[in-house]
Structure 1
Amino acid sequence: MVRGTYRRPVPTQSVEAAPAKRGSALPGFAVAAIREEGRWRCVRLDAVALEDLDAAITALRGLRSQGAVIGLLDVDDEFFVLLRPGPGGVRLLISDAVAALDYDVAADVLDLLRVELPPDDDALDDPWPEGDLGILSDLGLPADELEILVGDLDLYPDEQLESIARRLGFADSLDEAVGH
């Protein structure tokens, strides 16, 4: 099972994104979904959150909500990242770990998870999720359902995030935040 809070017993190395993607503004969206008193609201995060995982985590922690806070990053319509800061650290899920070859934020996710890409290029042909599939279990989206959703290669990342938002009850607020 893929989990984002465990530590694999493998040596770590930094995964650095390809130069072509560094420093350029990326398409997509970064949104915080906040649940307080049984109601969800979504707010757009600064676009730098799509490029810098620390910026995304800092922005989410700055919201200081009593309820659940989930970060949803749709990066360049290539992959998504779910973030959930808590007192003991941050829980993470990336929909495609292979994206770390091309995107700094994806490389940062793998570094934080202490996960390496396999050295075999053939293993990099197919996308695979990495992190905590149970990240939304306590909010009503079990790990096995999230795994099926993440594995649906017929959906673009924004569609996957929309499905997650619909399942948890904040699809309208997400649409409003991203301007659909």
Structure 2
Amino acid sequence: MAVKEPITGFAVAVVREDGRWRCGPLDTAALTDLDAAITQLRKLRSTGAVFGLLAVDDEFFVIVRPSPTGASLLLSDAAAALDYDVAADVLDLLRAEPPDDDDDVIWPEGDLEILADLGMPGPELEVIVNEVELYPDEQLQMIAQRCGFGDEFAKFVDDL
């Protein structure tokens, strides 16, 4: 199931503390192992929002938002689970089935309301997910802009 070539992309932790946003790197293990991403995010103590944005191989993205009861998750394309372990991990945690191999439809799986409290309502997030001509980093930039941390996110990506 795992892709044999090295995984490219980035994993960023987003933290809102006292009304200010910060973006910082997560270890690259977060791109291949959902548990690694959740563990790293849980270590970031904050009274505000903490979540992770994973852009994997210019193919899909994952939003991970730990909570005391588990983690809220959004996978931009459930078909990615056929080729990527981290996407398969998301579907496992969501108890969702991967699509058929011959399915050409891109559809998100998980909580479209994952960032609703930060200014990104589910219907708007779904529109961004369905912008299939955009790369995952471009989709995440749109999400960051809408939630209010677009500049911080852009600086993080530029520094990669």
TM-score interval w.r.t. the shorter chain?
Answer: over 0.9
Structure 1: any 5+ residue segments left out of the alignment?
Answer: 1-17
Higher CA-based Rg: 1
**Secondary structure of 2:62 counterpart:** strand
Aligned residue number for residue 14 of structure 1: none
Which stretches of structure 1, 4 residues or more, deviate above 4 A after TM superposition? none
Superposed displacement of residue 25, structure 1 = 3.1
Q: Gapped runs of 5+ residues in structure 2?
A: none
| Map of 2:62 onto structure 1 | 81
- Does residue 34 of structure 2 align to residue 53 of structure 1? yes
- Name the CA distance, whole Å, in 2 between partners of 1:150 and 1:112: 20
| Per-residue Cα deviation, 1:82-124 (whole angstroms, up to 9, x for no partner) | 0100111100000000000100000000000000124x444x2
TM-score scaled to structure 1, two decimals?
0.84
Say whether residues 1:31 and 2:7 are aligned partners: no
**How far is 1:176 from its partner?**
2.1
1:163 aligns with 2:145: no
Distance 1:86 1:121 in 2: 32
Instruction: Give the secondary structure class of the aligned counterpart of 1:105.
Output: helix
Counterpart Cα distance in 2 of 1:171 and 1:137: 16
What do you get for the CA RMSD once the two structures are aligned?
Answer: 1.3
**Equivalence for 1:129:** 108
Q: CA deviation at 1:79?
A: 0.1
Which residue identity lines up with residue 102 of structure 1 in the other structure?
A: D
> How many residues end up aligned between the 2 structures?
159
Contact 2:82 2:101 in 1 (8 A): no
Q: Does structure 1 retain, via aligned residues, the 8 Å contact 2:54–2:61?
A: yes
Q: Distance in 2 between matches of 1:25 and 1:81?
A: 18
Identity %: 64
- State the distance in 2 between where 1:93 and 1:128 align: 11
- Partner in structure 1 of residue 126 of structure 2: 147
Q: TM-score, normalised by structure 2?
A: 0.94
Q: How far does residue 64 in structure 1 lie from its aligned partner after superposition?
A: 1.2
Task: Output the CA distance in 2 between the equivalents of 1:77 and 1:105.
Answer: 14
Shift of 1:49: 0.4
Find out whether 1:112 has 2:93 as its counterpart.
Answer: yes
Q: Residue 42 of structure 2 contacts residue 66 of structure 2 at CA under 8 Å; is this kept in 1?
A: yes
2 CA distance for matches of 1:60 and 1:174? Answer: 17
